[in-house]
């Protein structure tokens, strides 16, 4: 009984820290978006001044700078579910900053039977692991493909990422105790909802498929 209480306490602590981390990432992304909108009028005024002075080259350079800045804060995926959007876009924005090519398509219901915390743990951990695996490769070889949709009464998620040649025993990460615990929590959540997960690794790529009943 003591072991069960200690394990439950560790799980609760892990989930609380993870949720705070994900919310912090989402808030950071939204802060960038709010900041860009706040400065929008200043950008317009600056370009008007350049145009009035005939400084067309400066206008083009300024537009290129704004385009690059906006690319870093724009929404990558719109699933139809706000919480899923927040989790996915915070992680995919992080992947883009690490020079990882992301190809994502997701469409899920506005309302899910899976709790926000559980959804956060599953998606967040899978993307964290995919990002870490991609970082073993040079930028040109980094790729994450993500696809989510409803299949009947199931939420279907498949994620594939390129990875280095390092072997991972039993598909468990070699990063450390906390990260391995995260993968165990993903499996536990999928089991709790009566879902399914399969993993495969071949030809320099790793893929995970998840089915969660809705």
Q: What is the pLDDT of residue 17?
A: 67
The token duo for 161 is 């990422």
For the beta carbon of residue 163, count every other beta carbon within 10 angstroms. Answer: 22
Q: Average pLDDT in the 73-93 region?
A: 73
Q: What is the pLDDT of residue 51?
A: 83
User: Is the confidence at residue 178, as pLDDT, over 50?
Assistant: no
With vertex at residue 76, the alpha carbon angle to CA 70 and CA 126, rounded to the nearest 5 degrees, is 130
CA dihedral (87, 198, 204, 173) positive or negative? positive
User: Is the confidence at residue 163, as pLDDT, over 50?
Assistant: yes
The pTM (predicted TM-score) of the whole model is 0.65
What are residue 154's phi and psi, to 5 degrees?
Answer: -115, 140
Give the chain's domains with CATH numbers. 1-74 (no CATH), 75-214 (3.30.565.10)
pLDDT band for 4, please (50, 70, 90 cuts).
low
User: Is the confidence at residue 25, as pLDDT, over 50?
Assistant: yes
C-alpha–C-alpha distance, residues 88 and 22, integer Å:
10
């Amino acid at each position: 009984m003591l072991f069960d209480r200690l394990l439950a306490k560790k799980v609760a602590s892990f989930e609380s820290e993870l949720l705070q981390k994900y919310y912090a990432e989402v808030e950071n992304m939204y802060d960038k978006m709010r900041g860009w909108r706040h400065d929008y009028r200043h950008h317009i005024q600056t370009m008007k001044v350049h145009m009035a002075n005939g400084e067309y080259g400066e206008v083009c350079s300024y537009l290129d700078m704004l385009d690059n800045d906006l690319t870093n804060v724009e929404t990558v995926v719109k699933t139809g579910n706000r919480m899923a959007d927040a989790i996915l876009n915070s992680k995919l924005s992080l992947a883009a900053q690490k020079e990882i090519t992301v190809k994502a398509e997701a469409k899920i219901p506005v309302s899910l039977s899976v709790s926000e915390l559980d959804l956060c743990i599953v998606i967040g951990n899978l993307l964290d692991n995919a990002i870490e695996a991609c970082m073993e490769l040079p930028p040109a070889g980094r790729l994450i493909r993500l696809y989510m949709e409803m299949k009947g009464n199931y939420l279907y998620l498949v994620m594939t990422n390129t990875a280095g040649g390092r072997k991972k025993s039993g598909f468990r990460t070699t990063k450390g105790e906390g990260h391995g615990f995260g993968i165990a929590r993903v499996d536990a959540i999928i089991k709790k909802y009566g879902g399914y997960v399969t993993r495969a690794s071949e030809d320099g790529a790793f893929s995970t498929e998840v089915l969660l009943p809705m």
